[in-house]
Structure 1
């Protein structure tokens, strides 16, 4: 009797590998050609599978987009923490802030990809709100808080100070990056000048919060 061929089960490791392949393909297209160029059919075609395979891993194109955004945020968090650990404890928060700015200045296309994308078919405002509930942003917050904590040892309101300073730092960093990268797209010389100003301001801000 002829044997019936059976399909081999895909291992969890292979599933993770294939999911990452879809992410990598979509990320490349997003960055090189923009949001509109990414279609489920194109991503799966380049991966060598049918379009239906996409839905085993993602609900829709926008779900894939937020995963890519979160992946980029996580990468920046790793870089920032590595940089901070090279400094004395009392300088680690400022070094983290500096590394955050420098990471995105060196990845301008990535920054625009997350914060300047727009489409009449996609609610990017809502997607960005969802991004702030994902792991990458939380990783940044937790890491930065851990570096601020030693600066407020002995303060009864340390937790409140840390939260407020983290929020202030976030707004300062994003305000600077949005202006330099998205609105004016400054050249190297102007960017260096603006960078020095924001870092000096942040140093004064940290000193003030720690001594008052």
Structure 2
């Protein structure tokens, strides 16, 4: 007997919905979210304006779907370190390197989602979801190490928020002015800064 599939194959509707998400990612790379219209997003996906509203009720709903994918991508990037224990500097650096690579491509809309001081209510709602998810994963790991007596004092949730915000702020800086930074120096320094924040120490870098 053949194995039962755990997930149905994508329908045409699924594919069109994903096409809209992919189109939004491309459009938001080049233009501020607030200036992008529904017509632009629909046209980039090759569908009509009415077709857009069949899949998403608003631009904010489409942005939320894009952010959900971004969260999943960030989870995958950090998965190795989040699943390990203790400092594990090499795993953390690899995770940060993967995140920085994504920011170098999608930095425009990620900066709006994370760091714009007044992005508007739609983007602010998405930002809260993004930050809360990332902080929860960091906090869970810190709590595990805190129980083992490995971390510095301080609430794990607060330490996690500091680490997540430090990561996002530095990635945004590199996106905004990549010529100003040596990428290896950024990754080494950011890795050690997060480890010192959470553990009070950092190991010597592994020679590359």
Specify if TM > 0.5.
yes
Q: Deviations over 1:145-202 (max 9, x none)?
A: 22212211177xx9962112102212221232233322x32456x2322332232222
Q: Determine which structure has more spread, i.e. the larger CA radius of gyration.
A: 1
Go from structure 1 to structure 2 and tell me whether the alpha carbon gap of 1:17 and 1:152 turns closer, same or farther (over 3 Å shift). Answer: same
User: Structure 2 regions of 5+ residues with no counterpart?
Assistant: 1-9, 202-208
In the other structure, the counterpart of 2:197 is 205
CA contact (8 A) 1:74 1:139 kept: no
Q: How far did residue 95 of structure 1 move? A: 6.1
How many pairs are equivalent?
Answer: 184
Report the TM-score, using the length of structure 2 for normalisation: 0.69
Q: Aligned to 1:106, what secondary structure does the other structure show?
A: helix
Please state if 1:178 is matched with 2:172: yes
- Residue 52 (structure 1) shift: 0.8
The Cα of 1:41 is off from its aligned counterpart by: 2.9
Q: TM-score, normalised by structure 1?
A: 0.68
Return the match for 2:183 from 186, 191, 198: 191
What per-residue deviation string (whole Å, max 9, x for no partner) do you get for residues 102-160 of structure 1? Answer: 2332121312222158xxxxx624344212343x54442332222212211177xx996
Aligned residue number for residue 34 of structure 1: 31
Tell me, yes or no, if the aligned pair for 1:81 and 1:143 is still in contact at 8 Å.
no
Alignment counterpart, residue 93 of structure 2, candidates 77, 81, 98:
98
Other-structure match for 1:126: 121
CA contact (8 A) 1:73 1:137 kept: no
- Greater CA drift, 161-170 or 67-76: 67-76
